[in-house]
Structures are given as C-alpha cells and as structure tokens.
Amino acid sequence: MAGSICSGCDCHIDRADNSLATLVRLQAKYATNEADMQGMRRVRNTCTEFLTRDQRQITANEQRLWFRMLERSKVWPFVFRLKGKAVGYGLIRREGRALMLSGGLVPTCRGKGLGTELFGFLVGQALAIRALREPTAEKTCNHCKGSGWYNCSHDRLRNEICTCFKREKIYLEVFGSNKVAYNMYNKLGFRMKPGHCYTPKVMVMEFFHAA
C-alpha cells in the first residue's frame, strides 16, 4: 500500500485501519486507532534508554491524550508489526524547517537488521513528505533559482524581501555512546555535521543521500 497518499495529511500510507505496507519482514501502518496507538506506546516504553529527549514511561492515558491532540500536518506516527504483533514504532515530526525522525524496536527484535528496515522506511516517507512541499523549478523566480530555495514569493517589482524557504532537511538524534545505531544511520545516508549537537552527549545527524 506504500505510495498511496492518505486523506488529510502528507503520509504515503493509506490511513484505513486495514492498510499495511509490507517491507521485507516488517509491516508498517500509519497509526489510526487505539490498538495502533497503544502498540506504539508499549514499544516506545522498552526503548527509553535510547531516547534523547523524554525518557519517561508513558501511561495509556497520556498516550491517548497525545494521540488526540496530534497535528496531522506536523506529526506522522507509525506502528510496525511482525507476525501481527507490534514490535516497532516510528515518528516523523516537522520541527520548523526540518523533519525529525525517531523510532525503536522491542529488545527481542534488535540486532537482526530490522532497525535498518524501520528507519529506511521512515527516510522514504520523509522524502515523500518533503517532496509534496516543493514546487517545480519553473515556479522558482530568477532571484532564487539555483540557490536551493523553494516556494518563492519574491516580488521584484515591489522590491519586497523574499519569503522563500529552503528545502526541509531530515534529521535524527542519537547518543554518541550508541555506536550500533550510529553505524546504522551512517549506512542509511546520515552524517553528523561539525557543531550539530543537541547536548554534549547527543549527536544530531542529517540525511544526505540514500545508501
């Protein structure tokens, strides 16, 4: 089902409850209901040691409230299942002019290549989401053409300040001590740029190219 655009957001997974994208081994689903939401929570709570921001255990009610308040144009939640059981979760969040990825797997599914499958899927979704906001090259004015800026509204006649915005970048965060995850992200095309740190212990990696 991957590739179909869901109604109401930029997600490329159909939001119908029975819509799944079958990857190599995992099945990815855009989270739409209570089972998806709580499946995400249970997996997330097994990954707290790897979370770079909020490491609390999330309760069922907290998750329900978070899910109800989601801005669907800024957050894309996914649940990943293996043989019908929720074993992974993923999030794509729009933060300013960037798309931030996060996700995780239950302990029994780590070290088996499923993390690469999960984050590879999230990268593909983020690229699709980003592409939907980019106009064709003809819609970029001469003032900004070739500069990497998009959605130009520069008015040369009135000499207004250009309000174009740059292509959204794709990021994720990882603890510097988590070498396994760092190497996986590196293989997927993420790189750490000098000075890109959330805290002294947390590295911010930017996606540059598909591996």
Residues 35-50: tens digit of each pLDDT:
999 999 999 999 999 9
Residue 101 corresponds to which amino acid? Answer: L
Residue 93's nearest CA partner among 101, 85, 103, 84 is: 101
Query: Do 118 and 109 touch, CB atoms closer than 8 A?
Result: no
Q: What is the pLDDT of residue 20?
A: 67
pLDDT (average), residues 55-76: 95
- With a CB cutoff of 8 Å and minimum separation 6, the contacts of 17 are 32, 33
Q: Quote the pTM value.
A: 0.79
pLDDT (average), residues 66-94: 95
pLDDT level of residue 168 (50, 70, 90 thresholds):
confident
The vertex-184 CA angle with 178 and 186, nearest 5°, equals 100
d(CA 17, CA 114): 23
